[in-house]
Amino acid sequence: MTFLFLLLLGIATYLIVQRTVAEITRTPVWLLWLVLMTPALILGGWTLMYGTEQPPPSPLIIWPSIICLLLYWLLFQWGRSTPRDTQNQPQAIASQSVIHPTAEPVPVRPIEPTEETQLRNCFPWSVYYIHNIEYRPQAVICRGQIRTTPTQAYQKIKANIEAEFGDRFLVIFQEGFNGKPFFVLVPNTQAAKSTREQEQITRPGLALFLLLATLVTTTLVGAQMAGFKPEELASNPSILWQGLPYALGLMTILGIHELGHYLTARYYKIRATLPYFIPLPVFLGTFGAFIQMRSPIPHRKALFDLSIAGPLAGFVITLPLLIWGLVNSEIVPLNEEAGLLNREALNPKSSILLAFISKLALGSELTSTSAINLHPIAIAGFLGLIVTALNLMPVGQLDGGHIVHAMFGQKSALVIGQVSRLLLLLLSLVQQAFLPWAIILLFIPLIDEPALNDVTELDNKRDILGLMAMALLIIIVLPLPQAIANLLQI
């Protein structure tokens, strides 16, 4: 089993490296792959020698991971493509992510040869000295040398282009793999649509229907979690009331999460739909909720705020629900079946944060031989932690992916996303409950859509908040070290 897992992990890792960084670094793919696989090979060797009954020591997990990540970063930077390469070949960001959802092919008049002089005049030499203009099927890429701050450059160039061409184009400012920022003009299809069409971005009737349908499915699942069988529900519908605490708790967490996104979008005047819930008659009763953005994000500050608002709002409502649910949960003996996903015998040491919250809620009742039979509200709160962690994963178009994109730029976010997917696969060797999520992350694209001004960096306060969000992710997903467990007496 261990050999099969390592084989699948090795194949997946090689494909990820080949598809994501092979074109932007000269370091051989096999060398990068070997560095990333080293921690997994070490843990695999330990498992083959000592079996699954004896867990590997913490230093054997931590130090190889840290050393290999640093070595991977150094090798990647050492072999990164030179500016000459990026000028001769289309950059991945320019060729893939500038085609914004608002830039679908429509009858928008492109720039004609006679208009190129007008376009060049939009770039004052004291702001952005333009070198060349590249024409793509759905974009015009203007490369040059920035001579002022990114914010001032973007505002000035955007104002000039709007004065010259009206609302024909969205003006995007990105940083290339060679470190030099460039402008991209994308046809503004939203301008071709009527005001009435722009206002009809959401369907309240559908949102309400999905909300009620999800309330029904989560209530059914909640009743089954309370110990009632489906045939009992058919003969006595009043039993459904027993599933309502779980349903309301989980839907409140998911709803507040999406409401954080929605209100932040409204603050930045980004057009967004109402939250849509996804009902599911089995498993958890729902597959989550989502909102859709129907207009581009203006800058990295807005991208950061919009992305972090959901997880933080959901986490704030999750904490009191989880604590209340744990206080009303039952202490049961710890056995071999206790684990992260066993709601009837949850091992609180499966998560650092969960261990501290459980000790706070249960006090001296929780010992090293205790597990927790979760109250329905505690189940909802526990799932709220899982939802927060999954959304904070710094991969692609997840909230965490947007956060690291806003903090470090799109180029660095690609590398961070790739490493994060592989680290979660590595963690699944210790916490097998994370294996399905690790596999799902492999299918999430690493390329994230740029903000219109994707060059201006965040302020220090947002950088610190972003690092705190990543720290929250870590203490949710990592198991409690034995040394801290001894201090907590659990």
User: In Å, how far are 322, 334, 486 from 382, measured between CA atoms?
Assistant: 6, 18, 23
The mean-pLDDT minimum among 16-25, 202-211, 231-240, 371-380 falls in 16-25
Question: Residue range 134-148: average pLDDT?
Answer: 89
Query: Is 372 within 8 Å of 326 (Cβ atoms)?
Result: yes
Residue 199: pLDDT band (50, 70, 90) is: low
Over the chain, what is the mean pLDDT? 82
Q: Which CATH architecture has domain 99-196?
A: 2-Layer Sandwich (3.30)
- Is-contact 351 485, C-beta < 8 A? no
C-alpha to C-alpha distance for 473 and 217, rounded to whole angstroms: 29
266 beta partners: none
- What secondary structure, in 3-state letters, does 213-234 show? HHHHHHHHHHHHHCCCCHHHHH
Read off the pLDDT of each residue in 470-476 and give the average, rounded to a whole number: 94
Confidence at 193, pLDDT banded by 50, 70, 90:
low
Task: Say if residues 243 and 223 touch (Cβ distance below 8 Å).
Answer: yes
Angle between the 376-392 and 352-362 helix axes, to the nearest 10 degrees? 150
In the chain, the amino acid numbered 465 is L
Please compute the mean of the pLDDT values over residues 4-25 and round it to a whole number.
66
Looking at per-residue confidence, does 23 or 479 come out higher?
479
- The domain segmentation of the chain, as residue ranges, is 2-80, 99-196, 203-488
Q: What is the mean predicted confidence (pLDDT) over 352-379?
A: 92
Residue located via tokens 């089993």: 1
What is the percent of the chain where pLDDT is above 90?
41
pLDDT band at residue 128 using 50, 70 and 90 as cut-offs: very high
Q: pLDDT-derived band of residue 96, with 50, 70 and 90 as boundaries? A: very low
What does the pLDDT read at residue 441? 82
Is 469's pLDDT higher than 80? yes
Task: Give per-residue pLDDT as tens, 145-189.
Answer: 999 999 999 999 999 999 999 888 899 999 887 788 999 998 887
Average pLDDT over residues 431-449: 78
Whether residue 66 has pLDDT greater than 80: no
- Work out the pLDDT band at 110, boundaries 50, 70, 90: low
* Closest C-alpha among 268, 261, 260 to residue 452: 268
For residue 33, is pLDDT > 80?
no
Query: Which pLDDT belongs to residue 97?
Result: 35
How much is the average pLDDT of 401-428? 88
Rounded alpha-carbon distances, angstroms, from residue 81 to 17, 26, 30, 181, 448: 15, 6, 17, 16, 20
Which pLDDT band, with edges at 50, 70 and 90, does 459 fall under? very high
| pLDDT tens, residue by residue, 218-264 | 998 888 887 777 667 667 777 788 889 999 999 999 999 999 999 99
Q: Given the DSSP bridges, would you call strands 139-146 and 181-187 parallel, antiparallel or unpaired? A: antiparallel
> Which residue has better confidence, 417 or 234?
417
Indicate the pLDDT class of residue 26, thresholds 50, 70 and 90.
Answer: confident
pLDDT of residue 414: 87
- Position 12 scores a pLDDT of 65
pLDDT of residue 371 exceeding 70, the answer is yes
SS3 content of the chain, % helix, strand, coil (to 5): 60, 10, 30
Token pair for 67: 């050393």
| Cα atoms found within 13 Å of the Cα of residue 289, Cβ hemisphere only | 33
Strands 276-279 and 181-187: unpaired
For residue 299, name the pLDDT band (cuts at 50, 70, 90): very high
Least confident range of 120-129, 137-146, 347-356, 442-451: 442-451
